[in-house]
């Protein structure tokens, strides 16, 4: 079913909670996510640096106290967006100067790694709600879908290639879209 990412915020979150991950939990979250995304196994130090720089970069989805999902992102500043679009960010070790400072508006959000199968997908509703907040609402989302399931999910949430043939996808936030003009009859 196709549904806009920004509209997920209106859906209920009954079985899963989403919390910004404390630094002490990053190693366990990386191990959890690496079961679905094996390349993350080598990225623990980078994830720690990103979360230390901006403590709302990595979120854990929990059900009955157990981790059931993760949502990690690079909260980019203007320089970070420029480097993303130029294809010059090393996602295995993102440069900290590309990340926004906590408490400041984010220019763009790169979905770094998401694991949300089954009921954990409710965590996406919570993330849509959180990313609709004042520091994030105008920041378009970017992603590189790895695998057919991820690509299908991103397209169903409104992501499209940045340009034809590009692997980089963008979700233009609803507030950033041109509104059709109403014409008088």
Q: What is the mean pLDDT of residues 6-19?
A: 92
Query: What digits encode the pLDDT tens for the residues 134-158?
Result: 999 999 999 997 777 778 889 989 9
Determine the pLDDT at residue 130.
Answer: 96
Stated pTM of the model? 0.91
Q: What is the mean pLDDT of residues 92-112?
A: 96
Which one is the CATH code of 5-175: 1.10.10.10, 3.40.50.10320, 3.20.20.70, 3.40.630.30?
3.40.630.30
What share of the chain in percent tops pLDDT 90?
76
Q: What are the extents of the domains in the chain?
A: 5-175
The per-residue DSSP string of 120-169 comes to GGHHHHHHHHHTTSTTTTT-EEEEE--SHHHHHHHHHTT-EESSTT-SEE
Give yes or no for residue 54 having a pLDDT over 60: yes
Tokens of 1: 């079913």
Determine the pLDDT at residue 101.
Answer: 97
Determine the pLDDT at residue 117.
Answer: 85
Determine the pLDDT at residue 184.
Answer: 40
Query: Looking at per-residue confidence, does 124 or 149 come out higher?
Result: 124
């Amino acid at each position: 079913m196709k549904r806009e990412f920004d509209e997920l915020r209106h859906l209920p979150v009954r079985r899963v909670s989403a919390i910004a991950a404390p630094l002490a939990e990053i190693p366990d979250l990386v191990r959890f996510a690496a079961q679905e995304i094996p390349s993350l196994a080598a990225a623990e130090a980078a994830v720690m640096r990103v979360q230390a720089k901006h403590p709302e970069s990595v979120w854990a989805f929990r059900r009955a106290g157990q981790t059931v999902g993760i949502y990690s992102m690079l909260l980019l500043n203007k320089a970070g967006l420029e480097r993303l679009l130029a294809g010059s960010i090393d996602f295995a070790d993102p440069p900290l100067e590309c990340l926004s400072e906590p408490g400041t508006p984010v220019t763009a959000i790169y979905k770094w790694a998401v694991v949300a199968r089954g009921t954990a997908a409710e965590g996406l509703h919570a993330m849509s709600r959180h990313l609709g907040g004042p520091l994030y609402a105008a920041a378009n989302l970017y992603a590189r879908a790895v695998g057919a399931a991820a690509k299908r999910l991103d397209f169903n949430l409104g992501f499209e290639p940045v340009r034809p043939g590009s692997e980089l996808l963008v979700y233009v936030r609803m507030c950033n879209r041109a509104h059709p003009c109403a014409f008088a009859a």
